[in-house]
Each structure stands twice: as C-alpha cells, then as structure tokens.
Amino acid sequence: NAGVTQTPKFRILKIGQSMTLQCTQDMNHNYMYWYRQDPGMGLKLIYYSVGAGITDKGEVPNGYNVSRSTTEDFPLRLELAAPSQTSVYFCASTLLLGLAGVYTDTQYFGPGTRLTVL
C-alpha cells in the first residue's frame, strides 16, 4: 500500500489564482481530513469527509472547498488564493467502524503540500 499520497509537494501561487491539492488513499478508509499547519503551530482542521458524497467543515474552512466523489480521493480546492493561505497542507485518513464513534484504526497522514501565495 502507498498509504496517503499528496500532490504536488510544493507550489507557489500568485494572489487570486486557484489550484487543487490532490489527496489519494489506497487503504479503503472511509474518513478523510484536510489540515493546515502554520509555522510553529499545530495542525488545524479545514474540512473532513465521512464517506463518498459527504463532506463537512472543520475549524478553518473559509477560502477552501472540497468534494468526495470516490472513497479514495479527497481534493482540496483554493479558488482565490490569498497570502493567509500560505501554509503546509496535510491530508489524512482513517477507518471508522461501528457505533458510538469506536474506531479501529489511527489517522494516517500524507507527506504534505507546501503552498506559498505571493
């Protein structure tokens, strides 16, 4: 298994440009997440998905959009890039089964995408 893969690894955008950060997992995990990590800070949740066709906002969703058309893929879209979106973006996935939120796996993180908006 490749685990969680993210592309691109690095990207520089100009203010107002748009781009899509790709995330794919091959572990058949149902839950997927997007986090951003600013320098000297922990990760903050942008959006998450509990399965294909279902997405929901996290702590810092403004300026981003997501979709989940398949179990494997969870792309993150930036429509109008702003300097405040300069960050490292991590995608993660986990397998959540059963009732009452009992999960049988941990969150696996991708290697990250380092985005700079100038």
Partner 1 sequence: GQQLNQSPQSMFIQEGEDVSMNCTSSSIFNTWLWYKQDPGEGPVLLIALYKAGELTSNGRLTAQFGITRKDSFLNISASIPSDVGIYFCAITQGGSEKLVFGKGMKLTVNP
Amino acid at 12: I
From 21-29, 65-73, 77-85, 103-111, span contacting partner 1 (CB under 8 A): 103-111
Q: Which of 45, 52, 65, 75 binds partner 1 (CB under 8 A)?
A: 45
Q: Which is nearer to partner 1, 14 or 39 (CB)?
A: 39
- What is the phi/psi pair of residue 63, to 5°? 95, 0
- Positions 5 through 24 that interact with partner 1 (CB under 8 A): none
Site for partner 1 contains 43 (CB under 8 A): yes
Residues that bind partner 1 (CB under 8 A): 4, 31, 33, 35, 40-45, 48, 50, 56, 58-59, 90, 92, 94, 96, 100-101, 103, 106-107, 109-112
